[in-house]
Structure 1
């Protein structure tokens, strides 16, 4: 897991987001010292920073990778829909033609043979780039926060070439609407894409809950709404 140049925070974050460290997996500062070849102070700081992102949490006297919470997935995707709908309307109004051409190139970069990691990264890059075209830094930051919270479940969404190509095609349709300066259509396409992703994720997690738990995933459904994103 550890690399020569990576910080404990970067190494742990990558391992959590890639599911190398499973949702619900127990973490100890002492065990991470040898695993990451780092002292306890930067490890503790890394765990606290990751807790602020919703990726780790306290578990008794130790720590654990935050379980996947179906209620949080629903809440975060609702937030995502609101953020990206607002962002795309502003982007239609404010983005230069050259910027929309670059966004189209980013969407079209997906290939049939892309793997899950490439698909996850490219999809995230597209959504952040779209939000940045709104010229509103808070909307762009909100989209980055959303994608961080959904990263582990999005790994499951991009697991097949078909799902990755479907995402590419939906992204290209969004860009077409933006190029046409049709804010209403662009917003509808963003909402449809977000809800489709949400429904596929929740269906997969519900259908595969037993099998995923058998692989070590901790999947819960909290009875209360999660705290707001920082």
Structure 2
């Protein structure tokens, strides 16, 4: 999968990446109004690349156009995030089914087992440290991207890429919320068993089972979401968490 920013001019790419980070890190507040002029001055670039960056971030769902011109940083409700997670589960369910029905290569399956073994190594410890969580997130991202490759579908790869530009819709979107949770080890263990079951179904060429397992696996993020929304400290550990309206604010 290629990053869509690679096709953009360098100044537009810079404006896009910097502006996206400002939004996701909470440096631009939810519903804050943005204009080409103010953003160009803040990023020290011309208005043309800023205009393109604002349009791209609106397409990604991080900004919304407002009446009278300009954009505002979008706020997401719990339902918005739930919908995003369900949509990712649908896309990933299809990738798992395609991988099973079309037949994943031995090389890709071997790589999947390597990733599963690496997580097993983390889970052999009774307590999971913050460093372990970071390592788990890296492996988890690799695993989910590997499933996309296994599906052999450019269309699904493109949709997955687009969907996961919203950080809380990504496979590891709410994992960091669990870093200090007493049930952290259990959550990671359940996710690991989901990975193992999906790969088994793919190896056995059981398409419908692989799809159902992957959709159910994605719903683990809903449990992590509820935990994060109930804990202000947990939500701050999530990339893009500043955009989510807390329960007390609804």
- Name the TM tier (shorter chain): 0.7 to 0.9
User: In structure 2, how many angstroms separate the alpha carbons of the residues matched to 1:216 and 1:73?
Assistant: 13
Offset of 1:66 from its aligned partner?
Answer: 1.4
Give the match's secondary structure for 1:7: helix
8 Å CA contact 2:178–2:224 kept in 1: the answer is no
User: In structure 2, how many angstroms separate the alpha carbons of the residues matched to 1:166 and 1:19?
Assistant: 31
Aligned equivalent of 1:48, options 39, 49, 55 = 55
RMSD of aligned C-alpha atoms? 3.6
8 Å CA contact 1:119–1:158 kept in 2: the answer is no
Is 1:87–2:95 an aligned residue pair?
yes
Gaps of 5+ in 1: 222-230
TM-score computed with the length of structure 1 as normaliser: 0.73
Aligned equivalent of 2:165, options 145, 148, 161 = 148
Is 1:99–2:108 an aligned residue pair?
yes
Relative to structure 1, is the Cα distance of residues 159 and 75 closer, same or farther in structure 2, using a 3 angstrom cutoff?
A: closer
User: In structure 2, how many angstroms separate the alpha carbons of the residues matched to 1:34 and 1:168?
Assistant: 46
Offset of 1:52 from its aligned partner?
Answer: 0.5
8 Å CA contact 2:36–2:70 kept in 1: the answer is yes
TM-score computed with the length of structure 2 as normaliser: 0.68
Larger deviation: 29-38 or 179-188?
Answer: 179-188
Is 1:219–2:245 an aligned residue pair?
yes
8 Å CA contact 1:18–1:152 kept in 2: the answer is no
Query: C-alpha deviations, 1:61-93, integer Å up to 9, x for none?
Result: 432221113332232233222222221111023
8 Å CA contact 2:23–2:29 kept in 1: the answer is yes
User: In structure 1, how many angstroms separate the alpha carbons of the residues matched to 2:58 and 2:112?
Assistant: 32
Is 1:194–2:202 an aligned residue pair?
no
**Alignment map for 1:2-151 (pairs within 5 Å):** 7-60=14-67, 61-93=69-101, 94-109=103-118, 111=122, 112=128, 113-115=131-133, 120=137, 122-151=139-168
User: In structure 2, how many angstroms separate the alpha carbons of the residues matched to 1:25 and 1:132?
Assistant: 38
8 Å CA contact 1:88–1:134 kept in 2: the answer is yes
